[in-house]
Structure 1
Amino acid sequence: MIKGLYEAHLPVINMEKSIEFYHGLDLELAYQGPRVTFFWIEKGKSWLGLWLSEHAKTPYHPSIRHVAFYVELEDLKRVQKWLRTRGIQAREAFGVSGEDQPLILCNDTHYHAAIYFDDPDGNSLEFITPLKLDAEDVVYHDGMTLKQWLNANHL
């Protein structure tokens, strides 16, 4: 099921300074927002999320306790059943109940499908797959599920 690590997250105090730093490491900017910025490590396969934090000077930030595993779309379509057979329930994320996931995430023109759950220590885990990168002609609305997205985009 798991094919690799898709994303890692770091808290930052100064987003502009951090963008300059990671851009200087030749990472491609994927998305820039007011509180979060993503850089491609390998486009379509892995990225780094930088989260603006008022508390970045302390050793804990929620973004440190999140890992996303890359899975293929066909696996993501059946992941609810796969998790349940292991006694794991998906949890609410971005206003979408665990039962209604996988959900669609959109950062500008990058679309991903994901499902969220927790490990026994409360660490946030995610299975994610990229759907369309650099796409502008896609039907999308907040709270859209993978099934709705596939139907709306005739995929």
Structure 2
Amino acid sequence: MIKGLYEAHLPVSNLLNSIKFYKKLDLELAYQHEKLAFFWIEKGHSWLGLWETDKVDTPYHPSLRHIAWHVDIKDIRNAKEWLESKGIQITPAFGFPPEKQPLVLLNKLNAHAAIYFQDPDGNSLELIAPLRLGVGEDSTMMSLEDWDEKNN
């Protein structure tokens, strides 16, 4: 029945500024109308809606104002340089400074590599790639560089 996530939405304070930012992420603008824009994440499969609204003042919480995009492992390894080449700063996450990202999130049987940044309104954005699914044990988070050393 369920095939995947089709859409997600974020509040923004200035739609035109946000459109410029999300175009830097190589997302294709699919639709724009007054205070609303949709970007294709994967054309025909998923998109992101941006709403110009005062709801952008809602304080950040992980359950609100957060989007994580799935990327390939080879792309997560180059994500820091890719973001920086577009003038986008990596933000600290889980006690890891930008220079220690991508970081590895470990929980029970799964491991994912992730890097974090924000849009102009402080919405939390993440690029994430599965490293290991269904095998393993709990461990502490570490940088992807440390993960590679430990697992190679």
What TM-score do you get using the length of structure 2 for normalisation?
0.58
Structure 1 segments of 4+ aligned residues over 2 angstroms from their partners: none
Matched residue, 2:66: 66
Identity in percent: 46
Instruction: Call closer, same or farther: CA 1:92–1:60 in 2, change over 3 Å.
Output: closer
Displacement of 1:141:
2.5
Q: Is contact 2:113-2:129 (8 Å) kept?
A: yes
Instruction: Map Cα deviations across residues 3-58 of structure 1 (whole Å, 9 max, x no partner).
Output: x97xx7xxxxxxxxxxxxxxxxxxxxxxxxxxxxxxxxxxxxxxxxxxxxxxxxxx
Matched residue, 1:15: none
Displacement of 1:150:
1.2
Pairing partner for 1:148 from 136, 146, 149: 146
CA distance in 1: counterparts of 2:149 and 2:135, whole angstroms: 17
CA distance in 1: counterparts of 2:109 and 2:97, whole angstroms: 24
Unpaired stretches in structure 2, ≥5 consecutive residues: 9-57
CA distance in 1: counterparts of 2:110 and 2:136, whole angstroms: 9
Displacement of 1:135:
1.2
Q: Is contact 2:104-2:113 (8 Å) kept?
A: yes
Displacement of 1:137:
6.3
Structure 2 letter corresponding to 1:84:
E
What TM-score do you get using the length of structure 1 for normalisation?
0.57
Structure 2 letter corresponding to 1:99:
E
Alignment: residue pair count: 97
